[in-house]
């Protein structure tokens, strides 16, 4: 079986980090290289990690954001397969073992994600149908919203090296951007069992800290439209979603009196609304 590198980026999350680390160390599959990347924590994260019994690679960097932290972990990893875990989430004990059942040991384009259990204030939150996870080819659905949680992913290092790592210029929607680059050209494996527990009751989560995240989803769509190998049906779907998101953003910015910014997105929507064939590019 391959070595799996588990990467946990963290920033000032002493209260949840131990839980996340223990969920990796307690996996039924044991050949795991655990890498904790401390993105400039100012609390006692280094001391906490040192006190946890188990083999842990601890890396520290000045605060640069979650994408930079994940990328640092990828660069330092030794495994043929990489799995990510946010420091406020946790894995079920059999998570890695069950994903490996879908890996044949030779697939360099391997990517697999799992279903999740959503928790908020200690209570299970039911997921809406629009958030339903799936496998296979689902680029069009991936354009609508982020359907893959980083904490659920196992991916081959070879595929990451080929498509590129997380975009460090995006303060949010960095996972949405990566999944677009992958789902546009690759099929995704899926385990329907909820093998990840996501805790959504923190004030420091990006969805709460970063305003108007659709700005960065629009940038991600523009990037994928720049790829000359994107097939025509996917290009049309990307343009349609770009126009839709721009118009929604225009409406919201206008309501808040941010007229100059609203005009910029409205112009972008008009540009792409008039360019719906496969020759469209940014």
Tens digits of residue pLDDT in 47-93: 999 999 789 999 999 999 999 999 999 999 999 999 999 999 999 99
Examine the domain organization and report whether 174 and 58 are in the same domain.
Answer: yes
Q: Check residue 29 and give its pLDDT.
A: 97
Examine the domain organization and report whether 201 and 226 are in the same domain.
Answer: no
Examine the domain organization and report whether 108 and 11 are in the same domain.
Answer: yes
Instruction: With a cut of 50, say whether residue 114 has pLDDT above it.
Output: yes
Examine the domain organization and report whether 16 and 124 are in the same domain.
Answer: yes
Distance CA 182, CA 92 (A): 25
Instruction: With a cut of 60, say whether residue 146 has pLDDT above it.
Output: yes
The count of structural domains within the chain is 2
Residue with tokens 């924590």: 41
**Nearest CA to 167 among 109, 108, 223?**
223
Instruction: With a cut of 80, say whether residue 276 has pLDDT above it.
Output: no
Q: Check residue 282 and give its pLDDT.
A: 44
Q: Identify the weakest region by mean pLDDT among 36-40, 134-138, 197-201, 264-268.
A: 197-201
pLDDT range class, residue 206, cuts 50, 70, 90: low
Instruction: With a cut of 70, say whether residue 208 has pLDDT above it.
Output: no
Q: How many CB atoms lie within 10 A of CB 138?
A: 18
Mean pLDDT computed over 146-171: 96
Examine the domain organization and report whether 60 and 194 are in the same domain.
Answer: yes
The answer to the question of residue 238 being in a domain is yes
Among 157, 186, 209, where does a domain finish? 209
The answer to the question of residue 162 being in a domain is yes
Parallel, antiparallel, or unpaired for β 123-125 and 111-120?
A: antiparallel
The answer to the question of residue 279 being in a domain is no
Q: Check residue 210 and give its pLDDT.
A: 63
The answer to the question of residue 16 being in a domain is yes
Task: Report the CATH number that the domain containing residue 176 is assigned in CATH.
Answer: 3.90.550.10
Work out the percent of the chain whose per-residue pLDDT is above 70. 94
Which domain covers residue 259, as residue numbers? 214-273
């Amino acid at each position: 079986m391959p070595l799996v590198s588990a990467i946990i980026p963290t920033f000032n999350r002493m209260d949840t980090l131990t839980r996340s680390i223990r969920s990796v160390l307690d996996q039924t599959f044991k050949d795991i290289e655990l890498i904790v990347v401390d993105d400039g924590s100012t609390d006692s994260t280094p001391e906490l990690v040192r006190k946890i019994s188990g083999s842990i690679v601890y890396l520290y960097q000045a605060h640069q954001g979650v994408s930079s932290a994940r990328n640092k972990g990828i660069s330092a990893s030794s495994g043929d397969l990489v799995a990510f875990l946010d420091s406020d989430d946790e894995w079920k004990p059999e998570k890695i073992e069950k994903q490996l059942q879908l890996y044949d040991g030779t697939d360099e384009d391997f990517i697999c994600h799992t279903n999740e259990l959503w928790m908020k204030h200690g209570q299970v939150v039911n997921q809406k149908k629009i958030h339903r996870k799936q496998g296979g080819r689902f680029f069009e659905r991936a354009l609508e919203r982020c359907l893959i949680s980083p904490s659920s992913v196992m991916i081959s290092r070879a595929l990451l090296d080929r498509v590129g790592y997380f975009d460090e210029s995006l303060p949010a929607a960095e996972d949405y951007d990566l999944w677009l680059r992958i789902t546009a050209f690759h099929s995704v494996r899926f385990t329907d069992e909820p093998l990840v527990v996501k805790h959504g009751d923190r004030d420091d989560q990006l969805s709460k800290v970063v305003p108007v995240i659709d700005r960065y989803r629009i940038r991600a769509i523009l990037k994928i439209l720049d790829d000359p190998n994107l097939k025509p049906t996917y290009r049309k779907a990307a343009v349609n979603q770009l126009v839709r998101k721009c118009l929604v953003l225009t409406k919201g910015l206008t309501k808040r009196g941010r007229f100059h910014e609203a005009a910029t997105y409205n112009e972008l929507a008009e540009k792409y609304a008039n360019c719906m064939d496969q020759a469209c590019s940014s």
